[in-house]
Amino acid sequence: MSVTRLREIKREIRVLGLASWSNPDTGTHETVGVIFRGKHWLDGVLKTSSGGPSITAEVAETIRRSNHHPQIRVILLHREPLNDGAEIDPHRLSRETGKPVIALGFQDPPQNNQRLTSPITVGIDEKTAKRILKITSRTGSYPEALRVAELLAESFNPN
């Protein structure tokens, strides 16, 4: 995918934060996504399940079918695989949704003292990605959409 040029990054840019977990009872992988306007407004929630080790196709299909798809400017996710090795491939997700992806990694599990490592950016340059992270984060470099998606994932996860 070529690099998307965002002419203007507004304070209320719509971003999709994704969080996934494995459900050992059913053998499925669950993903929840939240659409945020900037760092202030929750606009929507998505949820999907998949059975294989690559959950990217099901997540991409859910995003494309969503009424929010045309308004989403950027997708945010963690780049760490799940406990069983399943993961969302940021390159494939960007290609299948037509949206830029910013995949974040942390040196420690996300806590109060988390330290963000260099993000993987797909379909967007790193300078623009850093501006988006700043606009969508209340404190530090942790976007609200991703924080809320993880809170929802924790509440759905039976383990």
Give the DSSP H/E element, type plus range, for residue 94: helix 90-97
User: With 70 as the cut, is the pLDDT of residue 117 above it?
Assistant: no
Q: What is the pLDDT of residue 54?
A: 74
Beta bridge partners of 33: 18, 46
Could you give the angle at the alpha carbon of 23 between the alpha carbons of 20 and 29, nearest 5°? 45
| Eight-state DSSP code of residue 124 | S
- Which residues, at least 6 apart from 109, have a Cβ–Cβ distance to it below 8 Å? none
- With contact defined as beta carbons under 8 Å apart, do 77 and 17 qualify? yes
Helix then strand count (H, E) for the chain reads: 4, 6
Q: What is the pLDDT of residue 25?
A: 81
Q: Does domain 14-156 have CATH number 3.40.1160.10?
A: no
| Eight-state DSSP code of residue 78 | E
Give the DSSP H/E element, type plus range, for residue 152: helix 144-156
Residues 39, 33: Cα–Cα separation, whole Å: 15
CA dihedral 36, 39, 41, 45 (to 10 degrees): 30
Which one has a higher pLDDT value, 155 or 9? Answer: 155
pLDDT in tens, 118-153: 788 999 999 999 999 999 998 776 899 999 999 999
| Eight-state DSSP code of residue 21 | E
Q: What is the pTM of this model?
A: 0.87
